[in-house]
Structure formats: C-alpha cells, structure tokens
Amino acid sequence: MSPSDIAITPSAAGIIALAGLFVSFVSLLVAVHTQILVRRRRYKALLSPTEGFFIIPAKQHHDCEYATQDSESHKVKDITLPPHSEVGVDMILECKVAFAQNEIAVGFLGNDAAKHYAKEYCNRFIEVGDGQRVVPGDKKDRNSHYIDKHKFYHGRGAQAQTRSLGSVMPLVLP
C-alpha cells in the first residue's frame, strides 16, 4: 500500500478539523487566562498586599491598655484609644500575596495635629538584643526608621525581606 492509496473520507476530515478547532480554542483560553486574568489579579493584590489587624492579646501574654482581655488572643479591625495618651498597640499584617519589601509605613488617616501615631517600634518576641525597641532618629542604634510629616512611621531594613502568602508581620506601636 503506497501513501497515495490512503484516502481521507469527508467525515474523517471533519473530525480532524473539529479537533484542531477545539485545540485552538483551548490554547486561546489558556493564553487569555495567563496573560490577562492572572496579571490583573496579581496587580489588584499588589495594590493592597497585606491586611492589618489590631491584636487584643491573651491575659497570659501581657497587659493590654485598650481592651478587656480573656484567655484567648483576638484580631480586630478597629479600636478606640483615649485622647492625649500614649498606649502600646499590638498589630499584625497578614500577607495576601507574596512580595519583597525594603520599607514598611504604618499610619492613621485624619487630622495630623489630632491623630494618634507611632513613636517607636517594639518587637515583643525579642527579649534581649537588637531590634527589641527601635526609636526613630536614635543615633546609638543607627537605625533607618523615621516618622514623616504626616505622622506615618517608616521602618527600613538593610536588605529586602521576602514575605510569603499567609505570613504574619507583628508590630507593636507604643
């Protein structure tokens, strides 16, 4: 049997054409998904890469000046602080997307003269050593933290820190 003896019937040609059309359609859907939809979702996630919460710690961890405590820790979105006071506030930032960061800025909206703002950074997980308490502008620590004119606290690291999806960054702002 020679190659010229092989004949493709019209029904076989139709099936081959439909299979080719199906493969082309699936390829187009994959391309649209990866090139448009995934990029758009990533861009939206990078606009707000973390979600912030205030923490009401459990009684056994440490005292909390702004809430009533019980035996469990709680994440809340809003707290009310007394005016004209200095209060240590526990916060966490939960990562919604993987990213690398060199600097973090934390602040509150409102009138700059009347709003609360962070004056220093405290890491309650460090008992003794560098990074337990960081005061912006403190020459002996030679840190790169600062407070801007809008009362936002900025903390800069010496190198980029990678944050993965679901990781938590603890902050205490006294």
Per-residue model confidence as pLDDT tens digits over 123-149: 777 778 877 788 887 776 667 888 999
- State the pTM of this model: 0.63
Minimum mean pLDDT among 26-30, 115-119, 169-173: which range?
A: 169-173
pLDDT of 3: 58
Query: What letters, b where the CB count within 10 A reaches 16 and e where it falls short, cover 143-173?
Result: bebebeeebebbbeeeeeeebeeeeeeebbb
- What tokens does 72 get? 């469990």
For residues 125 and 55, give the distance between their C-alpha atoms in angstroms, rounded to a whole number.
Answer: 14
- Report pLDDT for 26: 92
